[in-house]
Structure 1
Amino acid sequence: MATANNILITSAGRRVSLVKAFQKELSILDAMGLVICCDAQPELSAACQVADKHFQVPRLDHPEYPDFLVQKCRELDIKLIIPTIDTELTLLARNRALFLANGIIPIVSSPELIKLTQDKRKTHELFNFYGISTAQEYDRGHFKYPMYLKPYDGSRSIDNYLLKSPDELRDEHLQNEKMMFLEYLDHDQHDEYTCDLYYDKHHNLKCVVPRKRIAIREGEVNKGITCRNEVAKLVQNKLSELPGAIGCLTAQFFMHKVSGKITGIEINARFGGGFPLTYLAGANYPGWLLGEYLFDKKVNDGFESWEDQLLMLRYDNEVLVHAYQRTT
């Protein structure tokens, strides 16, 4: 008797839209398949509550995390793992052989590519290697104001600073060895785009959807619009093949409003928080992933039938858990 094709979304948190997208696409391919979520606190995760099933996992730094996850995947007949946060990517990539040996496919890029994307200095080198401009990085003590400061391994805009004059520079900025001192790209002069990229299992780019970031909340797009423009053309031309890239990656760019110059900012080797806009515009990355890895379906080249100028306005919604009893 054939088993269902269950999938797991890890560190699910509040990614309700992503869970629902996978539920919809999996139901088309396998009516028996379940979308399962895990989180360190699943009882407080909205995504876990809307998933078909959920379970609790140890923290990512727990030494038994990989073995625990493999065991739960075997128990629940999970075939595919979809990570959602940066800190779990390296862990899954390094243990890829362990998961594969147990019939589980983690949708994660190679450790080498993840290392490049999680160090913004190396990301700049990657962009430059493929002929994409990046913001100038200043040597310490040779600054040009205004300038932008951010840690090379940071995320969600934590410890990011805009300094407009020398008197705003603090000792803690200079003493932070992780801090990058960068040319400031003024939002009054630039539009900011996050591109959702889909790479097949052979690391070939199949689709790119730029989303113009209109408003941001906690480092995640709150208002955005799809744009078929020169940013998409640049990515298609420069990053058509990216060694080690698998599944959905998000890449951030700035484009000058007058000159049209495009500057690469960063890459995240995972689904971004604003991906639901790309999915609702018609770029079916969840369906492609399921088809490619569970049903051996080829993803067609150059998908461009996504809706241009689709505006997304996000808002908070409620997930209610009746008769809730806290377990910890």
Structure 2
Amino acid sequence: MNILITSAGRRVSLVEAFQKELTAVFPQGKVMTTDFNIKLSAACQVSDQSFQMPLVSDAGYFDRLLKVCLDNDIKLVIPTIDTELLLLAKKKKQFSDHGIKVIVASEEFVQMCRDKREIHVFFENHNVQIAKEYSKYDYKLPIFIKPKNGSRSIDTYTITKHEQLTKYHFKNDDLMFLKYLDHNEFDEYTCDLYYDKTHNLKCIVPRKRIEVRDGEVNKCVAEKGALVDYLKERLSFIDGAIGCLTAQFFKHKETNEIFGIEINARFGGGYPLSYFVGANYPKWLIQEYLQEEDITIEYFADWEENLLMLRYDKEVLVHDYKE
């Protein structure tokens, strides 16, 4: 009963969490990883075994990944980056035919998450308010510009003066002009949501973002409050959703007015805080998809509130390294 975490990069804490939970149930189980450069991936160094992979865009990526799974008794695959989700959602049945479960949402939901305009429609259909999108010919400053299919805060801009706008902003149809939600007025939250195999919401952990580095949260605190009941009421069921979803919201500091920003259908980089407060998503995935008995995951809200996570760089040393 081995688990594979793909595109593991620097997700050391996620690998270690799965190692701890897997060996508690299957002592001989191993957590393996893939990456484009396993020699320079910290997570690949701490995993039980790692495998070099081509880029997700490479035509041979899927065949290589399936071979790794078949050759190494992989029963559960955990993808971690946006660019591989749609491919794995489309190929999910081919893995399943070999007894391999890929924890990825349905193709339709993944496609929706990849398009910020489509996820805005999803939010509105679930009675979640969104930031207004302006026409590029009729907008009111300040605005926030982001690509409709971007990630890691790449190609985002806060525009407060007209002279900050360039031809690039107007000609690029992928860029959205959005009403700016001022961080002086709003707190930003990333919520780790767990959906069981019947697509029902079983846990909500809002993480208030204090500091972000390279698009990934660096300092955050787990907070219960208005967001928990708000999301439980509106997103208690999402057709096609399974495992961990990472959803971003802004909440007004005084009025508690909430705006939905985006959803990523995967573990987020800040998930370790949710694990440390007691939201044990790796354990639940193992119970639902690897253990033979039919296990029902009960709704879980008894996690530790007000736990602050401060991240720092830690060394992973590799002896006798050769390029």
Please indicate the TM-score interval, normalised by the length of the shorter structure: over 0.9
SS of the residue 1:31 aligns to: coil
SS of the residue 1:133 aligns to: coil
Change (3 A) 1:154 1:51: same
SS of the residue 1:263 aligns to: strand
* Whole-angstrom distance in 1 between the partners of 2:109 and 2:15: 26
* Whole-angstrom distance in 1 between the partners of 2:12 and 2:127: 37
Corresponding position of 1:9: 5
Cα deviation, residue 47, structure 1: 0.3
Q: In structure 1, what residue type is equivalent to 2:2?
A: N
* Whole-angstrom distance in 2 between the partners of 1:124 and 1:221: 23
Query: Which of 163, 166, 169 is the equivalent residue of 2:165?
Result: 169
Cα deviation, residue 234, structure 1: 0.9
Corresponding position of 1:272: 268
SS of the residue 1:290 aligns to: helix
Q: Identity rate of aligned residues, in percent? A: 54
Corresponding position of 1:313: 310
Corresponding position of 2:298: 301
TM-score (norm. length: structure 2)? 0.98
* Preserved CA contact (<8 Å) 2:185 2:252: yes
* Whole-angstrom distance in 2 between the partners of 1:47 and 1:268: 21
Gaps of 5+ in 1: none
* Preserved CA contact (<8 Å) 1:288 1:299: no
TM-score (norm. length: structure 1)? 0.97
* Preserved CA contact (<8 Å) 2:191 2:206: yes
Query: Which of 184, 202, 216 is the equivalent residue of 2:212?
Result: 216
Within the alignment, does 1:71 sit opposite 2:67 as a pair?
A: yes
* Whole-angstrom distance in 2 between the partners of 1:251 and 1:264: 8
Gaps of 5+ in 2: none
Cα deviation, residue 299, structure 1: 3.9
Detail structure 1 runs of 4+ shifted over 4 Å in the superposition: none
Cα deviation, residue 165, structure 1: 1.9
CA deviation string 1:112-160 (max 9, x = no partner): 0001101000010000000000000001111111010001001111110
* Preserved CA contact (<8 Å) 1:198 1:206: yes
Q: In structure 1, what residue type is equivalent to 2:302?
A: S
Corresponding position of 1:251: 247
Cα deviation, residue 258, structure 1: 1.3
Q: For 1:32-111, what aligned pairs fall within 5 Å after superposition? A: 32-111=28-107
CA deviation string 1:3-54 (max 9, x = no partner): xx00000000000000000000001110000000011110110000000111
More deviation in 299-308 or 249-258? 299-308
Query: Which of 279, 282, 288 is the equivalent residue of 2:284?
Result: 288
